[in-house]
Structure 1
């Protein structure tokens, strides 16, 4: 046998061995994705994003994606806290998480379908309505609500705002505790002068339940950590075929996705986190 033929034969043999040794999860991970339903992993009590009543904006996105794929929608409910991915997506009880921050190691991210930012929530007619960054002197000495451990806390510390801050729990079971509602209620009552909250939570809640408050996306902070994030869908690691299918879905339907988010009150910003997009309202 010629030398070149021996080399080719060896490569074919090695390839065959590698394929034979790959487990079913490695060789054909997309076979785990349901062909009969759009199976969504979601928190049952995480309004305004998702809830069992189906009124969250992630529920409405799931409705739209399922209809576009011509599949019935099926949920696996699990609180979005420790063990969420392990007990839902990784356990093959569902196939997609509708909202997940880009770059997270526990999932394979699709292309992002929205970019948003942390926001300052203040009384609409109050003295803080013109504040756009956390270094504004108008915030000095005020009691500001903040979710403990969230990225804006670093900026608050840098600007001397933590001394009087009121902290709220970061990881909770929303079926039993709702720090975001407490945070906004405290601004409404005057217990705190302002609050800092993730925009896709603050925007819809203020739009629906707090007409006397306003949401100001924090886009002027120049030092780390960044306060804007690109949000994707999350699928199981290795499921590239399913990821590409969802990427195509996002690309072809971005205008409809934006419309759902804007109608919910989510503050959308450009991909670089420098400007608020036209909300069409």
Structure 2
């Protein structure tokens, strides 16, 4: 029986596609052709200590090393300040293939599954009268000089609780090679220029652990009104690169315990997915 012409054409197309897949080889079949097969190409800020730094001592640098080791690849960096234009000049420009830490749901990237959840923290002198504060509505904060990064979610809570008039704002969008608002804030707290500081936990927690033993880090998990102060953190890849995303998801799932240990060692405060409970390192 003679095969219809349409069926012959369909069969020919299928044969060509099958041949192309086999000729591509295992590595090419597993990731987008835009993703390097020779290195884990990471987009990173060169001066965002303790998160990432050009001397590769940040905890995201260590996370990149862990992921690269599991892939049996070296790490290769594209450095760019993590401010306006970061994604456009790195990931979107195809200079690198992954951002190691990115908030879930951000439209500029395709997010992997989240590998940790963290929260904003209140930082106070460990032996001071604010050491027992757990919420920004605590009357003990009234009239105090509280440092906060301008425009971040805690600012709304501070305004609601009447703390803005005496607040000390610090810049949000900076080139950290020449300015470090988080370090400036902690230095001011240490010297008594301000009474408390509010920082994103994955920044403030490690900084305190590294260099400010007299300060206490209090995760703000008891704020009940919006905006939320906890965020789930993912790795970010280019839109459309679903195979690469799934490969990283698999790496995250299989190595979650090592990732948790790395973050806990750095001093990152880890909380439950709904931001209601502080997790112990073993969790």
Partner of 1:254: 256
1:75-224 aligned at under 5 Å gives the runs 75-224=77-226
Judge conservation of contact 1:269–1:275 (CA < 8 Å) in 2: yes
2:74 corresponds to which of 61, 72, 75: 72
Partner of 2:57, secondary structure, is: coil
Partner of 2:234: 232
- Structure 2 unmatched runs, 5+: 15-29
Partner of 1:183, secondary structure, is: helix
Judge conservation of contact 1:109–1:243 (CA < 8 Å) in 2: yes
1:57 corresponds to which of 52, 56, 59: 59
Taking structure 2 as the reference length, the TM-score comes to: 0.89
Partner of 1:30, secondary structure, is: coil
Judge conservation of contact 2:77–2:96 (CA < 8 Å) in 1: yes
Structure 1: distance between partners of 2:117 and 2:252:
13
Taking structure 1 as the reference length, the TM-score comes to: 0.90
Moved over 2 A (4+): none
Residue deviations 1:1-43 (CA, integer Å, cap 9, x gap): xxxx9xx98xx7xx99xxxxxxxxxxx9811000010000000
Structure 2: distance between partners of 1:199 and 1:65:
23
Shift of residue 279 of structure 1?
Answer: 2.8
Partner of 2:280: 278
Partner of 1:31, secondary structure, is: coil
Q: State the number of aligned residues.
A: 261
Structure 2: distance between partners of 1:36 and 1:54:
19
Judge conservation of contact 1:121–1:196 (CA < 8 Å) in 2: yes
Structure 2: distance between partners of 1:117 and 1:196:
11
Structure 2: distance between partners of 1:41 and 1:56:
14
Structure 2: distance between partners of 1:259 and 1:208:
17
Judge conservation of contact 1:29–1:238 (CA < 8 Å) in 2: no
Partner of 1:197, secondary structure, is: strand
Partner of 1:118, secondary structure, is: strand
Partner of 1:43: 45
Structure 2: distance between partners of 1:97 and 1:279:
24
- Structure 1 unmatched runs, 5+: 17-27
RMSD: 1.9
Partner of 1:223, secondary structure, is: coil
Partner of 1:262, secondary structure, is: helix
Structure 1: distance between partners of 2:103 and 2:35:
21
Judge conservation of contact 2:31–2:244 (CA < 8 Å) in 1: no
